[in-house]
Amino acid sequence: MRNFAIAFLFVVAVLVPAGSASAATLYYNNSVYSVDSQWVTLVNWFLDNGYGSGATTLPSNGDYVYIDGTGAYADLTSDPVSLSGISVGENSGGSGIELHGVSGDASFHGTSFNEGDIDGDATFEDDSYNGSNGNVTGDATFSDSTYNEGDVGDSADFTGDSYNGSGGTVGGDATLTDSTYNEGSIGGDATFDGDSYNGSGGSVGGDADFSESTYNEGDVGGSATFTDTAYNGSDGAVAQDAAFSDSTYNEGHVGGDATFTDAAYNGSGGVVAGAINPEPAPAVSEPAAEPAPEHRHHSTSSARRAANLEFLRVYHAAQSELAQ
């Protein structure tokens, strides 16, 4: 029995990580008592998402927080607390939430935003955004009307009407679909689908793939592939090789070789520094029309005509003498 108890305690110790007992999950809602919209106001915090049980302490390092305030909490800030994660709900009355130090994942909804450090992944929905001082060390997902003006350390996905702004940087790869666009910097490879595009201020450090109705008006540091009806615009620059197929075309600059297949073509403004494959056929000129056959008149010069007449006169005279 004693051995069984020791084994049981050992299993519990393994299953329950050290320090986990101190972590709490707290819910913020400043509309229950409507005192103010301050992070440090204890009555704004609850132990359940029904807001029936009030918290006895404010969030501390390692806690997970759910924000569901309905008032204006533009000055709501977690500084200096470093959370293990946070989920920010719909904010109907304020300009957002300023976060400082989140060691886990975070999700933003409504008009909330991040102006601090998130040492994990982040999800942005509705009209939320990652501000100019926002830093997400992991991956980030942007949907609806969200945007990035800060830093994303790893990869980023943009869907809906979201975008990577002029101040936004993505350290890894990025995927842009629907009506999204890039006006910032993408350090890795980029994939553009739907009606998305790489704007005149956008740069892709790696390779880029453009399909459907997408286009490039910015810089691609690697190679690029264009399919469907995508195109490289007049301001678009691809540093290395480019491949065009289907109904795509090039009106910009390609620093390496370019391949055109199907109905793809190099437009009048397109510049290819390397080889064009297949080589464009040489201009074929219309064959020169054969000269019309010379019309030979049966009429002759007056001298020859006179000689012929004289010959005929002599001939007929001789014939008359012979007949006599």
Q: Give which of 238, 316, 305 is closest to 272, Cα–Cα.
A: 238
Give the tens place of pLDDT for each residue, 190-204. Answer: 999 999 999 999 999
3-state SS of 269-280?
A: CCEECCCEECCC
Q: Are residues 179 and 145 in the same domain?
A: no
Angle among Cα 65, 67, 70 to the nearest 5 degrees reads 165
Tell whether the model's pLDDT for residue 40 goes beyond 80.
yes
Evaluate whether residue 302 is within a structural domain: no
Q: Average of pLDDT values for 36-62?
A: 88
For 23, the enclosing helix (H) or strand (E) is none
pLDDT in tens, 97-136: 655 567 778 888 877 788 778 888 999 998 889 999 889 9
| Integer Cα distance of 208 and 50 in angstroms | 47
Q: Are residues 257 and 198 in the same domain?
A: yes
- What's the domain range around 203? 173-279
Q: Which residue has the tokens 């056959």?
A: 293
Give mean pLDDT, residues 142-169: 98
**Both tokens of residue 100?**
């400082």
142 with 36, same domain? yes
% of the chain residues with pLDDT over 90 = 50
Q: Do 147 and 234 reside in the same domain of the chain?
A: no
Compare 127 and 243 and report the one with higher pLDDT.
243
Highest average pLDDT, of 11-15, 21-25, 59-63, comes from 59-63
Same domain, 85 and 203: no
CB-count burial class (<10 Å; 0-12, 13-18, 19+) for 245: middle
1 band by pLDDT with thresholds 50, 70 and 90? very low
CB 76 within 8 Å of CB 84: no
The letter for the amino acid at 299 is S
Q: Structurally, how many domains does the chain consist of? A: 2
pTM: 0.72
